[in-house]
Chain A
Amino acid sequence: MSHTTVKQKRTALKVARSSKTLNVSSGVFRVNQSMTKTINPSFSGKSFSSGSDSKVLDKSLAQTPKHTVQVFDEHGQDITPHPLYNPDPGVLQPKQGKIFPAHEMSWTTMTDFPSVAFQTTNASFTGPFTRSFFGSASASRTSQTAESVTDETKDFIAKPDLSSSLTDVQTRREKVKEQVREDIMDRVVDCYLTETETIWLLDIPAVSVSVDSEDAEAVKERNNAYTELCKNRQGNDKYVERSMQTFNDAPKTKEVQSDSITMVDKAVMSTTWDMYDSFCNKSDVSENTVVSAEGNKATVPDSSSMSHLLNPSGTDQSMSVFSTTSTVSGSSTHLEKMTVLPVEEEPDLELILQSDKFKQDLAMMERVVLANIFQPKLAAYRQLPVIEDPDCVQTQMEEESWTEQTKNSLSPFLEHLWAFKCELTMGRNVSSMTWNKKNPDLLAVGYGQHEFKDQKPGLVCCWSLKNPTWPDRIFHCESGVTALDFSSCNANQLAVGMYDGTIAIYNVQTAEQTPITDSSDCANMHTCPVWQLRWVDHDTGLAGEEKGEMLISVSGDGRISKWIHYKGLECVDLMKLKSPNVTINRQQWNPKILSLAPGLCFDFHPNDSKIYLAGTEEGQIHKCSYSYNEQFLETYEAHTGPVYKVAWSPFCPDVFLSCSSDWTIYLWRQDLPKPVLGFSSGQKVVFDIMWSPHCATIFGVVREGNVEIWDLRVSSLDPTIVSLTSTGVNPTVLLFTPETDCVLVGDSEGHVTVYKLKNLPAGGSTQVETLEDVIWSTLSSQHTLGKTDGSA
């Protein structure tokens, strides 16, 4: 039924356009709605009759009443806007009064029910319209309505004129009082639920199936079956229309309360290194179920337990096995860690402090801290540009000294950089210094007295440039140290010569106080102080001779010995420095007792390692050969006092310098028996001289009380730089740095001061030619002098 009504009423359900259909359906709808709203209780349970009403409705559709516009909302309530003009309803009222009771029996009465029920002062505006409509409708269909309406409406039908008049009253507003009669209440009213265009009762969207799909055939069959069914349904006994209404039970609310869920945050941080660590430690952990004393190992299982979540690779089997062990060990170690930790506080500190790594780190830290302080000096030393610390505030004193120096910036001078000194070395006389052959930053300094008196135990300190406040190595020796040399082959071996004639070889890699070997057991050991030591490398070995490096020493007992490190130290004499023939009373007196002149210094030729010079305490310089130990090759005599130092020029192969306590320094040429040049400035003992390794014409001199730098290009009469030391302090040793333009001066107070040579005339080459020119010019002038002088 609903199906048919829907068909018929679909067009009727447009909003307020086609008045006829709308009114009919809407009227009906409204009736339904109103009925359901107001009279629902009475009508509940009653079935709705279908047939007659529908017929009436069908017929009514044929009629077209006068055009009225009505607007209904979705529930069928009339919300038509009210007209502003309301004609006087009083005229027709009595007529309507008669009609209306009749109407009450018809549909219109039903329409008035809402107005009755709601008791509005204004009659429901829809009332008149519908009434008028229905009036008109009924007027036109008197015959039809007569069939359907009950006998009570006969009165109404009999008065068509009234109904027609009613149509004129469309616009009038009328107040109607409705009287609900009991019989009307018992009347069965049919309610129809219809679908509108916006309200559906049942909505199953259509499902489309593609013709090509597998189910297409089945769907087609079903569709066909359905259409057959629809066709057959009309008169079929199988299908009976039946409606149902369900009961809506009253809802009931129920509350349940639960404990609040405690939330725990858990986080795991996974980093690249964590995964790497776990991966590396994986093999160790599975064996390491027992916790060792160190607390830090407990952290390893924790990371490994995480790793089985994080480890990206690895076979599944091994992972599962591993994870169980790790969790077990993790928990056990965790427990143990908790108990062990309080006990471990003390050993923890000790362990750390004693570990080697800590010592290394401490040493490095010391250097780092010092580097902050000494950085400008070290930069100057290494000939790097000195960068000023932007945050460092220069004190006034520094500024003053700076301005002083800048004044003298044109003339050459020695810039004081720093001094190696510490409390250990206070008061000790620096007797020798040498650079390490391999590490140019390592300096070995020997402390020992030169004089016989004031002998105290000697000291060897290995200083590093990186730490000028404390030596890296300290070796205490029994007697004063007088000579030092680093080996070139084994750069860690340091040969030390002492005042009592002992020679010891130390290994500076460790801080052990005992030397590798000692010559004190040797039968042939020196009986007098070892004044100079040198490791000499013999490149060319004659047949039967040993190749390689050997230690050569010269000592106050007049012997130059070669030492071999075999099982102990064994020595072979290279030369005995025989005392020359002394002329007494104009007679050559050949002493029967062979006495040896104490040797003070020696130097091997830089190019030919067979030839060496030896200086004696008697003032002679002997040129000797390594392979010939009977006689000297040549003797140079000019000094009147002990020759403290001889030095071959590193650039000119024939030239050497010698210094002595007779206040003089002589420049010799190998082939000439007499010195070429003599340098003297003041009456002071010359302790040490050294050629500069960079420039052939420069050499440094250490005298009693001052340090001099001579440059033969500038002058051969006066030193280029003279630097006075503080009174009471004598510089004793001079050492040039092999790579930079600095010079080290050791003094009798135990300080080793580093100076930088400033403003010396720069030379591109090593100035060998200059030196030779100087010599040649000197010689030529000497010759001329000699000629004019005659032999004197």
Chain B
Amino acid sequence: MAEVEDTLKRIQGINGVIGTIVVNAEGIPIKTTLDNSTTVQYAGLLHQLTMKARSTVRDIDPQNDLTFLRIRSKKHEIMVSTDKEYLLIVIQNPAE
């Protein structure tokens, strides 16, 4: 448990990382380093997108599953590590 906390702290401490959010299976954020409104927004939107992406991947081959989703935008990069039970979201600004 402490190891997990340490790792989360380390990730948050990496240069350029804006925030980390852990979301449960229903799309409710359970751990976050951002403010509430931003967290809720990210969690909701990314949950939906992940569902859609997973549906796409599994429609093509039901034995396959989505593991990682990366969205690169002009300003940030959003990385989502997906699982059946949770979503791990990290928002990074790679310019710094």
Inside 8 A of B81's CB, which chain A residues have their CB?
361-362, 364-365
Bitwise, B10-33 to A at CB < 8 A (1) or not (0) is 110011110000101100001100
Inside 8 A of B77's CB, which chain A residues have their CB?
372
Q: Which of B7, B14, B24, B95 contacts A393 (CB 8 A)?
A: B95
Interface residue SS majority, chain B: mixed
Whether B15 pairs with A366 at a CB distance below 8 angstroms is no
**Which candidate, A42-50, A270-278, A621-629, A755-763, is the interface stretch facing chain B?**
A270-278
Say which size band chain A's interface belongs to. Answer: 20 to 34
Known: A272-B62, A349-B31, A364-B81. A389 touches B24 (CB 8 A): no
Inside 8 A of A273's CB, which chain B residues have their CB?
55, 58-59, 62
Whether B30 pairs with A470 at a CB distance below 8 angstroms is no
Interface residue SS majority, chain A: helix
Known: A361-B83, A369-B79. A352 touches B92 (CB 8 A): no
Say which size band chain B's interface belongs to. Answer: 35 or more
Residue B3 at the A interface, CB < 8 A? Answer: yes
Chain B, residue nearest A349 (CB): B30
Residue A392 at the B interface, CB < 8 A? Answer: yes
Whether A391 pairs with B74 at a CB distance below 8 angstroms is yes
Bitwise, A346-366 to B at CB < 8 A (1) or not (0) is 001101111101110111111
Chain B, residue nearest A467 (CB): B10
Inside 8 A of B63's CB, which chain A residues have their CB?
276
Whether B84 pairs with A271 at a CB distance below 8 angstroms is no
Chain B, residue nearest A294 (CB): B85
Known: A296-B85, A362-B88, A373-B16. A352 touches B30 (CB 8 A): yes
Inside 8 A of A391's CB, which chain B residues have their CB?
72, 74-75, 94-95
> What's the nearest-Cβ distance from chain A to residue B70, in Å?
8
Q: Which of B4, B55, B74 contacts A359 (CB 8 A)?
A: B4
Whether B55 pairs with A365 at a CB distance below 8 angstroms is no
Inside 8 A of B7's CB, which chain A residues have their CB?
359, 362-363, 366
Whether A272 pairs with B4 at a CB distance below 8 angstroms is no
How far apart are the CA atoms of A148 and B46 in the complex, in Å? 104
How far apart are the CA atoms of A277 and B79 in the complex, in Å? 27
Whether B3 pairs with A359 at a CB distance below 8 angstroms is yes
> What's the nearest-Cβ distance from chain B to residue A324, in Å?
26
A296, A365, A368, most chain B CB atoms within 10 A: A365
Chain A, residue nearest B74 (CB): A391
How far apart are the CA atoms of A732 and B15 in the complex, in Å? 29
Residue B71 at the A interface, CB < 8 A? Answer: no
Inside 8 A of A373's CB, which chain B residues have their CB?
14-16, 94
> What's the nearest-Cβ distance from chain B to residue A279, in Å?
9
Residue A572 at the B interface, CB < 8 A? Answer: no
Interface residues of B in 24-78 (CB under 8 A from A): 24-25, 30-31, 55, 58-60, 62-63, 68, 70, 72, 74-75, 77
Whether A365 pairs with B88 at a CB distance below 8 angstroms is yes
Q: Which of A275, A357, A363, A368 contacts B79 (CB 8 A)?
A: A368
How far apart are the CA atoms of A275 and B63 in the complex, in Å? 12
Whether A369 pairs with B11 at a CB distance below 8 angstroms is yes
Whether B79 pairs with A349 at a CB distance below 8 angstroms is no
How far apart are the CA atoms of A272 and B90 in the complex, in Å? 30
Whether A352 pairs with B22 at a CB distance below 8 angstroms is yes
> What's the nearest-Cβ distance from chain A to residue B14, in Å?
6
Inside 8 A of A362's CB, which chain B residues have their CB?
4, 7-8, 11, 81, 88
Whether A354 pairs with B1 at a CB distance below 8 angstroms is yes
Whether B85 pairs with A355 at a CB distance below 8 angstroms is yes
How far apart are the CA atoms of A469 and B70 in the complex, in Å? 22
Interface residues of A in 636-657 (CB under 8 A from B): none
Chain B, residue nearest A360 (CB): B81
Residue A370 at the B interface, CB < 8 A? Answer: yes
How far apart are the CA atoms of A194 and B74 in the complex, in Å? 89
Q: A296-B25, A365-B81 are in contact. List 5 more A-B contacts (CB 8 A).
A: A357-B83, A362-B7, A364-B68, A368-B68, A469-B10
Question: Sorted from nearest, which 3 A-B pairs have the closest CB atoms?
Answer: A273-B58, A276-B62, A361-B81
Binding site for A on B (CB under 8 A): 1, 3-4, 7-8, 10-11, 14-17, 22, 24-25, 30-31, 55, 58-60, 62-63, 68, 70, 72, 74-75, 77, 79, 81, 83-86, 88, 90, 92, 94-95
Can you list 12 A-B pairs with a CB-CB distance of less than 8 A? A271-B59, A272-B59, A272-B60, A276-B63, A353-B22, A358-B88, A368-B90, A372-B16, A372-B92, A373-B16, A391-B72, A469-B10
Binding site for B on A (CB under 8 A): 271-273, 275-277, 296, 348-349, 351-355, 357-359, 361-366, 368-370, 372-373, 389, 391-393, 469-470
